C-alpha cells in the first residue's frame, strides 16, 4: 500500500544529510499495513463521493456516481495507478467481482490517480488497461480532484457506495478480499439484487512466503521522494549535493540495506535517476541489497527507441527459475528485459526467500529509473 507523501524542502534536508544518509530503512511490507476503517463510517454531503475534474474517461462514457446509485446500482470506487505493484496485485480480484456482479447491480469505477508524471498520459493508461485486461470504467484523475474529494491517501484504496449515495465500506491496501466481497454482496442485497446463487471467493490474501520475516522497502529514485523524512533511498552522499545534476558515482560495494547505489555517470531528476551517457560494455549500473522473493522496477525512456536492461544477482545472470515475467535470455545466457514503454517491469522472482545483491545495467542514455518494488508472495509480483 502506497501513501501519498508530503515533500520536504531541499535546504532543510541538506543540513542533515551527513548525519542520516545511511540511517534509514525498515523491514515492513507496505502491503501489510492495516486496513484503517473508522467506525461508524461518516455521512457525506451530496457531491463529495463523486467524480471531479475532467481528465478523460476510458472504457466508458462519463457518468456520475449519483446517477448510478439512483439507478439502484452499487458503486465500488478503486483508486489506483498503473505502476503501483500493490494495485496490480488487487486486479485479479477486481476482475472476478466485475465478472460475477456487473450484471447484478455492481459498477466498478477505477479512478486512476498518477504517482508519476508519465502516468498522466491517456495513451499510457490505455495501454495498461489493455495489457491488464481491465474492462470496467476508468476515469483519469490527473489533478487529484476526485482523490481530494474522497480525502484519500493510499494506492490502492476501495470505497463502496450504496444506493443511498453513502459509503458502506472502505479498504486500503491489499488483502481482505473475502471481507470486501461480503461487503459488496451485502450492499447489493440491500439494493434488492439477488446474489445468493453466486459463489463467494475463498482467497482473502495472497500467499506470503511462510519464512519471510522482512522485505526490502520500496526504493524511489527521484529526489522529490529522496528528500523526505521517510526517504533517503540513495546510498551515496553526492546524490544529495544538488538537484538536477549530472555526477560520476563510484560503487564501493559497501551496501547498506534499504538503499541503492550507482556506478558511472547519472543525472538525478525530480522523479527518476537517469543514465547520463551511452556505454558499450555495461560498465555503469545501479545496485542494491535485496531481501525478499520478487523485485520489480518502474522505468521509462526519454527517447523513442527501445533499450535493454541486464540483470545480475550475486554477480551472475539470473537462472531461469529466478526470472520475472518480463525477463528474457540472450544466446550467452545473460538475463535482461527490453524497455518498450513506460511501466513496471517484473525482473526477479526467486524460488525461495533470501538476501542477495542485485545489479541492473544498460548501455542506453535513455535508461530512467523511477522506483523499485519488492514482494514476499509465493508465485509472482
Q: How confident is the model over 1-51, as pLDDT tens digits?
A: 887 653 333 444 443 333 333 232 333 333 444 444 556 888 999 999 999
pLDDT digits (tens, 9 = 90+) for 148-164: 999 999 999 999 999 99
- Here the contacts of 31-38 (C-beta below 8 Å, separation 24 or greater) are 31/1, 31/86, 31/89, 31/173, 31/174, 31/175, 31/375, 32/173, 32/175, 33/1, 33/172, 33/173, 35/171, 35/172, 35/173, 35/175, 35/176, 36/172, 37/169, 37/170, 37/171
Going by C-alpha positions, the residue among 232, 260, 224, 268 that lies closest to residue 5 is 224
Q: Mind listing the pLDDT tens digit for each residue in 320-356? A: 999 999 999 999 999 999 999 999 999 999 999 999 9
DSSP β-ladder status, 367-375 and 260-268: unpaired
Kind and range of the H or E element at 332?
Answer: none
Question: For the whole model, what pTM was predicted?
Answer: 0.89
What's the whole-number average pLDDT of the chain?
90
Give pLDDT, residue 4.
Answer: 67
Predicted local confidence at residue 259, as pLDDT = 97
Cα separation values, 228 from 28, 90, 173, 234, Å: 18, 28, 22, 12
Go through the domains of the chain in sequence order and give each one's CATH number: 9-27+214-375 (2.60.120.260), 30-190 (3.40.30.10)
Instruction: State pLDDT tens for residues 49-70.
Output: 999 997 899 999 999 999 999 9
Predicted local distance difference test score (pLDDT) of residue 39: 63
Question: Rounded to the nearest 5°, which phi and psi values hold at 21?
Answer: -60, -30
Spatial distance between the Cα atoms of 82 and 80, rounded to a whole number of angstroms: 7
pLDDT, tens only, 241-287: 999 999 999 999 999 999 999 999 999 999 999 999 999 999 999 99
How would you label 127-150 residue by residue, b for 16+ Cβ within 10 Å and e otherwise? ebbeeeebebbbbbbbeeebbebb
pLDDT at 129: 98
Q: Tell me what pLDDT residue 208 has.
A: 85
- Confidence category of residue 301, pLDDT binned at 50, 70, 90: confident
More reliable by pLDDT, 312 or 29: 312
**Among 38, 34, 43, 35, CA closest to 162:** 43
247 forms bridges with which residues in the sheet?
Answer: 266
- Quick check: 102 and 25 in contact, CB under 8 A? no
Q: How far apart are the first and last CA of the chain?
A: 14
State the cell numbers at 18.
551527513
User: Helices marked H in 72-163 — which ranges?
Assistant: 85-101, 122-132, 145-149
CB 278 within 8 A of CB 341: no
What is the percent of the chain where pLDDT is above 70?
90
**What tens digit of pLDDT does each residue of 103-132 get?**
999 999 999 999 999 999 999 999 999 999
- DSSP assignment string, 145-203: HHHHHTT--EESEEEEE-TTSSEEEEEESS--HHHHHHHHHHHHHHTT---TTSPPP--
Amino acid at each position: 500500500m502506497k501513501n501519498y507523501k508530503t515533500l520536504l524542502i531541499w535546504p532543510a534536508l541538506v543540513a542533515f544529510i551527513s548525519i542520516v544518509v545511511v540511517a534509514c530503512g525498515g523491514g515492513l511490507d507496505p502491503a501489510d499495513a492495516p486496513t484503517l476503517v473508522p467506525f461508524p463510517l461518516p455521512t457525506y454531503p451530496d457531491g463529495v463521493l463523486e467524480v471531479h475534474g475532467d481528465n478523460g474517461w476510458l472504457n466508458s462514457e462519463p457518468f456520475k456516481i449519483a446517477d448510478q446509485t439512483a439507478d439502484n446500482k452499487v458503486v465500488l470506487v478503486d483508486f489506483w495507478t498503473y505502476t503501483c505493484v500493490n494495485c496490480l496485485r488487487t486486479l485479479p480480484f477486481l476482475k472476478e467481482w466485475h465478472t460475477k456482479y456487473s450484471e447484478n447491480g455492481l459498477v466498478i469505477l477505477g479512478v486512476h490517480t498518477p504517482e508519476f508524471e508519465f502516468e498522466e498520459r491517456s495513451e499510457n493508461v490505455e495501454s495498461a488497461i489493455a495489457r491488464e485486461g481491465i474492462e470496467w470504467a476508468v476515469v483519469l484523475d490527473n489533478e487529484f480532484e476526485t482523490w481530494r474529494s474522497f480525502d484519500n491517501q493510499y494506492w490502492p484504496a476501495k470505497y463502496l457506495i450504496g444506493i443511498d449515495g453513502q459509503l458502506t465500506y472502505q479498504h486500503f491496501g491489499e488483502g481482505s478480499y473475502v471481507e470486501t466481497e461480503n461487503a459488496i454482496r451485502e450492499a447489493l442485497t440491500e439494493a434488492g439484487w439477488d446474489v445468493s446463487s453466486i459463489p463467494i471467493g475463498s482467497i482473502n490474501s495472497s500467499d506470503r512466503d511462510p519464512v519471510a520475516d522482512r522485505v526490502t522497502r520500496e526504493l524511489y529514485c527521484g529526489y522529490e521522494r529522496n528528500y523526505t523524512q521517510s526517504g533517503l533511498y540513495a546510498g551515496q552522499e553526492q546524490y544529495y549535493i544538488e538537484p538536477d545534476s549530472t555526477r560520476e558515482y563510484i560503487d564501493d560495494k559497501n551496501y547498506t540495506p534499504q538503499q541503492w547505489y550507482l556506478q558511472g555517470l547519472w543525472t538525478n531528476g525530480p522523479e527518476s535517476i537517469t543514465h547520463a551517457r551511452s556505454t558499450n560494455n555495461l560498465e555503469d549500473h545501479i545496485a542494491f541489497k535485496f531481501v525478499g522473493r520478487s523485485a520489480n522496477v518502474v522505468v521509462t525512456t526519454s527517447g523513442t527507441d527501445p533499450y535493454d536492461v541486464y540483470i545480475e544477482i550475486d554477480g551472475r545472470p539470473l537462472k531461469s527459475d529466478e526470472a520475472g515475467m518480463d525477463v528474457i535470455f540472450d544466446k550467452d545466457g545473460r538475463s535482461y528485459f527490453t524497455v518498450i514503454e513506460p511501466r513496471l517491469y517484473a525482473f526477479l522472482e526467486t524460488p525461495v526467500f533470501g538476501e542477495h545483491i542485485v545489479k541492473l545495467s544498460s548501455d542506453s542514455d535513455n535508461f530512467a529509473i523511477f522506483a523499485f518494488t519488492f514482494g514476499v508472495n509465493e508465485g509472482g509480483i
